[in-house]
Amino acid sequence: MLEQLHSLDTNALIALNRLFPAATDTFWLAATKTITWLPLYAVLLHRLYISSTAVLFVKRLALVVIGVLLFDQGAALFKYTLERPRPCHDLEGLRVLAHCSPFGFFSAHAANSFGLAFLFRKWVHSSWFPILIMVALVQSFSRIHLGVHYPLDLLAGAVWGFLISVALHKIEKTWS
């Protein structure tokens, strides 16, 4: 069963890794960088600031910081506990366009981007949510295009981010 799942994951990666031409590599390299998305999150924090009381803003900002720590460090814990090699170490013929650290399950990029999307979903106007999901999808797909994550690494990261954001919203409810 696990071999079949790994085979499906590998086949999907190889197909998706070559989906876009090399002419788009610069776009995908930019999409994977956190700094590319910082202006978006600065705007979201500003929206949160102007729509909240000072106390509520500080509490939610604390939840964002805690969330990012949990999204990111949770991924690191899983990576170095499970030690699943990244595809850039595992697969010949894969287009690899970025530095390839040892382990990849699960994606911190996916955990952070999806986690923040679901965290902000309840705090800012609903029109922002599709934009945040699109950003999460683009940033996550960039990891496949660069050859550093299997699709299931991204799915697991997205699920982790979602679950942490749900837990943080539950914590926030206890503050009311």
Query: For 135-169, what is each residue's pLDDT tens digit?
Result: 999 999 999 999 999 999 999 999 999 999 999 99
pLDDT tens digits along 45-89: 999 999 999 999 999 999 999 999 999 999 999 999 998 989 988
**Does 102 score more than 80 pLDDT?**
yes
Instruction: Tell me what the mean pLDDT of segment 123-133 comes to.
Output: 94
Q: What is the DSSP letter of 22?
A: G
Neighbours of 107 (CB within 10 A): 31
**Does 100 score more than 90 pLDDT?**
no
Distances from the Cα of 101 to the Cα of 11, 57, 83, 86, 125, angstroms: 21, 36, 11, 7, 37
Q: pTM for the whole thing?
A: 0.92
**Does 92 score more than 90 pLDDT?**
no
List, in order, residues 6 or more apart from 37 with CB less than 8 Å away: 113, 135, 139
Which pLDDT does position 67 carry in this prediction?
Answer: 97
Q: Which residues pair with 85 in a beta bridge?
A: 103
List, in order, residues 6 or more apart from 16 with CB less than 8 Å away: 141, 144, 145, 151
Which pLDDT does position 99 carry in this prediction?
Answer: 83
Neighbours of 23 (CB within 10 A): 7
Neighbours of 9 (CB within 10 A): 16
Sequence ranges of the domains in the chain: 2-174
Report the C-alpha gap between 172 and 36 in whole angstroms. 29
Q: Which residues pair with 103 in a beta bridge?
A: 85
Which pLDDT does position 149 carry in this prediction?
Answer: 95
Which pLDDT does position 101 carry in this prediction?
Answer: 87
**Does 9 score more than 80 pLDDT?**
yes
